[in-house]
Amino acid sequence: MSIKKILLIGIGLLVAATVFAAGGKDQSGASTAETSAQMKQAVVNFWTWRPEDVEGYDKLIAIFESQNPGIKIVQTAHKNTEYNTILSAALSGGSGPDVFQSRAYGGLETFAQSGYMEPLETWVPELKDFSPASRRGASSIKDGKIYGVPFASQTLFVYFNQAMYTKLGLKVPQTWDQFLANLQAMKAAGIQPLANGGKDGWTLEVLLGAIAPNFYGANDFFDAVVKGQTNFKDPRFVESIRKLGELKPFMPDLFMGTSYTDMQSSFINEQAGHFIGGSFEAGYFSKQNPDLKFDFFPGPAAKAGAPNYVSTYADGNFSMNPTSANKEEVAKFLRFLAGKTTGDLFINEFKQVSSVPGVDTSRSPFIAKVLQVQQYNTPYVFLVGFRYQQPTGSVLAQAALQGMMAGKLSAEEVCQQIQEGIASYYEPFRK
């Protein structure tokens, strides 16, 4: 080889080395350093049951990825009513996500004891700072281990359209009779009083959670029924179910065909004056219609002067797939989800009461009011107390309530079905 050729090769190698050191470009235009970083990125698949919250989670993910350039988070949101089935099939088939939203209480228990969740005490030391109430919804009652990072607590109450109330001269009701009078006033004015329907059974359980405690005795009843000192045929509970039937004249035409998304759309587009639901709705309402003026009040009391109770519960958690190939990266993401950035977003973006300890709630009047009405709170009866075995109290209540609202069952028959189903396995009811 000639000296000239050797010199040319040497110069070429020197230039290549200089370009590489300076962060040269590949054929796509990306720097060599960028391409190398992309090749080394660990992908963490993240599933939720809230398509409504995709944009909010995108904001969180962008912050996390900027702080952790070696980790790529891929979000997938499934419809809430289909989520458990899809998640269970994926996890049992070995193709599930690395991180996923998990239900609380009995919903978590089922997945944890099936081996689909990794205990998190070691991976996420911040869990020790969470409240006992939030950790309860993330813990197994069988082994006491914590299987999730709690993300929010929810409260059930009645939303109302402020413009409609002003137009009709209505006052926020304190009692059941006042609430029915407001519904009747809207109906007389040609306004759909109540957005709620019965196609999706879980929305009827929410209806029960928002209204019934003020008739069945709230915490006194809950404590007694969990201990087996009373049961769901208690006259107080029967009466609370009967009260739900009094709402039927104010629901949409053919309301048993009204789905959850129909309910949301009706209230958001100001076609209905009230929506009985949870605190988790507020962020979505505001996002879909920024001009919507709405507020809420706790479930009406049975009589004047009585406190207005609201049902509360730990909504859910973020959990780790024990078969994940990227547990270290998953743990980083979970610790981020347990931190202040996530807590602040839940309050300001989702308008939900974050479970993250020490977050600032002062900038959200909505959250401040939710915390205020929680002064009189009671556990969401079937979710908190009776979802640990099959058939769950929720499954029984949802099916029976659909039967009653469709005119096929009486309140007594609803309670009988619930009681018989739970008594088939619940030891305190079998004594």
**59 and 124 co-located in one domain:** yes
Beta bridge partners of 379: 312
Residue 4 has pLDDT above 70, yes or no: no
405 within some domain:
yes
Give residue 430's pLDDT band: very low, low, confident or very high (50, 70, 90): confident
Q: How far is CA 418 from CA 36, 184, 221, 310, 397, in A?
A: 59, 31, 15, 22, 6
Contact 46, 76 (CB under 8 A): yes
225 within some domain:
yes
Residue 393: give the domain boundaries: 154-313+371-429
Give residue 25's pLDDT band: very low, low, confident or very high (50, 70, 90): very low
What is the three-class DSSP state of 252?
A: coil
Tell me what the mean pLDDT of segment 186-213 comes to. Answer: 98
**174 and 212 co-located in one domain:** yes
Q: What is the mean pLDDT of the chain?
A: 92
Tell me what the mean pLDDT of segment 303-321 comes to. Answer: 97
Window from 25-34, 86-95, 302-311, 389-398 with minimum mean pLDDT = 25-34
| Dist CA 282 CA 158 (whole Å) | 11
| Dist CA 431 CA 417 (whole Å) | 18
**177 and 308 co-located in one domain:** yes
**382 and 337 co-located in one domain:** no
14 within some domain:
no
Contact 164, 186 (CB under 8 A): yes
Give me the pLDDT at residue 40, please: 79
Residue 7 has pLDDT above 60, yes or no: no
**208 and 106 co-located in one domain:** no
**206 and 327 co-located in one domain:** no
12 within some domain:
no
Beta bridge partners of 74: 45
Sequence-separated (6 or more) residues with CB below 8 Å from residue 137: 104, 105, 108, 148, 150, 313, 314, 315, 316, 317
134 within some domain:
yes
pTM of the model: 0.85
**81 and 146 co-located in one domain:** yes
Tell me what the mean pLDDT of segment 358-362 comes to. Answer: 89
Give me the pLDDT at residue 38, please: 53
98 within some domain:
yes
Contact 369, 308 (CB under 8 A): no
**133 and 101 co-located in one domain:** yes
DSSP one-letter string for 19-45: HHHTT-B-TTS-BHHHHHHHHHPEEEE
**131 and 183 co-located in one domain:** no
Domain final residue, candidates 304, 328, 362: 362
Residue 9 has pLDDT above 80, yes or no: no
List, for residues 406-417, the tens digit of each pLDDT value: 999 999 999 999
Closest Cα to residue 333, out of 52, 32, 75? 75
Domain tally, the chain:
2
**66 and 211 co-located in one domain:** no
3 within some domain:
no
Give residue 5's pLDDT band: very low, low, confident or very high (50, 70, 90): very low
List, for residues 26-51, the tens digit of each pLDDT value: 444 545 444 444 557 999 999 999 99
**271 and 383 co-located in one domain:** yes
Tell me what the mean pLDDT of segment 307-323 comes to. Answer: 97
213 within some domain:
yes
User: Which CATH number is 104's domain given?
Assistant: 3.40.190.10
**250 and 125 co-located in one domain:** no
State which H helix or E strand residue 101 sits in.
strand 99-103
Q: How far is CA 251 from CA 105, 168, 243, 398, in A?
A: 31, 19, 14, 17
